[in-house]
A and B are shown apart, each in its own frame.
Chain A
Amino acid sequence: MATLLKNHRRYDIFNDLEKALNRVDFFRIFHTMALRFGFDHFGILQLGNENDACMLSNRLTLHDLPSGLAEEYDKRHRFGDSVVYKSLHASTIPSVWKADDPHLGNGSNLLAQLGFDLLLCVPVNGINGARYAILFLGDSEDIERREHFELCYDAIAAFDYFYRLVLSNKAGMGLTPRETEILRWISHGKTASEIALIVSVSEHTVNSHTATILKKLDVVNRTQMVAKAIREQIIQ
């Protein structure tokens, strides 16, 4: 992505960010970031209206938590009641939490409920203002001021790329040649697995391109996608 200037300093993670293309790349970047600063896991949490009912598992857009941990948590606890969740709506200052913080209380201690000792929250925004928070979880005792600052900065920079490349609504953006090719095969009535065979990619890639086309054309299903593509003369 060549849209940023050198003024947007990205320090040590510049190369990794510039080369990132898909969710696995961002998993690698955030996972490595967590380990580098002494944490075990990360999670990217979508924030909405504070009063909306919310489950931890639904709000995590990317994470490396053990499989099923967030779902188990949701079965037993209400994420919306946790002090951490409420605090993310009270301030955008990054926060550090310990499982033995006395003011966390019994019923709302997210850290103890998840089984970790230390949590760092870095509130971040997409370029359109959409609010998210990057969580880092581990069993360290604390994080030093310098590492804290560095991790916050790196998390903000990495999230900016993640948002622009993966999360943002790409409505109105042009289709890539590969997306146009897949759109054309869809218009010929081919299924995802048939297109995968024809185009020599995985079925997963075809589905992922299809999801991007839906977003870019701002449509809700394949029928509307083809109709709009013909109307707008993207395909004949």
Chain B
Amino acid sequence: MTQIIHILLVDDDPAENVILRALMKKVTSASIELHYCETIDGALDFIRAGNPVNMVLMDNRLQPQADFRETVPAMRQQGFIGPIGVISSSLADPYFQKFEEYGADFRIDKSELDPTAIEFILREYVSKN
């Protein structure tokens, strides 16, 4: 796979950007370019600017008080129809059962996000497109 895959990470903790960037380097089956926005407004601007984005990984809770039930629909209203994955440190909240209704494609626990999981997600959501 020679094509570059653009992934946009939206997370208010810059440390997560560093961690995920290191994780993406371990994915050998694809060339990934990770873009990073700290806020949902930043992400919306990024999409609006016409930057190529194959997939969005969105932290569930973003400052000040938004969770994916607000942020994912905002991305959809901006016209983004690529896959959006919601990352959370716990998937226990019952509203995660309704993630599809809010326009999200999948949910994954932070602790489960390893190179194998990234490769699987790319195969499922990006390679086929």
Contacts and interface: CB of A to CB of B under 8 A. Distances in A.
Interface of A: 19, 21-25, 27-28, 31-32, 41, 64, 66-68, 178, 193, 196-197, 200-205
Interface in B104-123: 105-109, 112, 116-117, 119-121, 123
B89 interface: no
A66 B100 contact: no
Given A24-B121, A28-B117, A67-B123, A204 B29 contact: no
Nearest to B91: A19
A200 B77 contact: yes
B119 A32 contact: no
B121 A201 contact: no
A67 B26 CA distance: 13
A205 B124 CA distance: 11
A19 B96 contact: yes
21 contacts: A21-B99, A23-B124, A24-B105, A24-B106, A24-B108, A24-B120, A27-B120, A28-B108, A32-B112, A64-B117, A64-B119, A64-B120, A66-B29, A67-B123, A178-B101, A200-B73, A201-B76, A202-B103, A203-B129, A204-B105, A205-B103
Contacts, number: 80
A205 to B, nearest CB: 6
A196 B76 CA distance: 9
A22 B120 CA distance: 13
Contacts of B117: 27-28, 31, 64
B98 to A, nearest CB: 9
B100 A21 contact: yes
A205 B82 CA distance: 9
B120 A204 contact: no
Contact of A64 (B30, B107, B116): B116
Interface in B1-54: 1, 28-30
Nearest to B27: A67
Given A23-B124, A202-B81, 5 more contacts: A64-B116, A66-B28, A200-B77, A202-B82, A203-B81
B81 A193 contact: yes
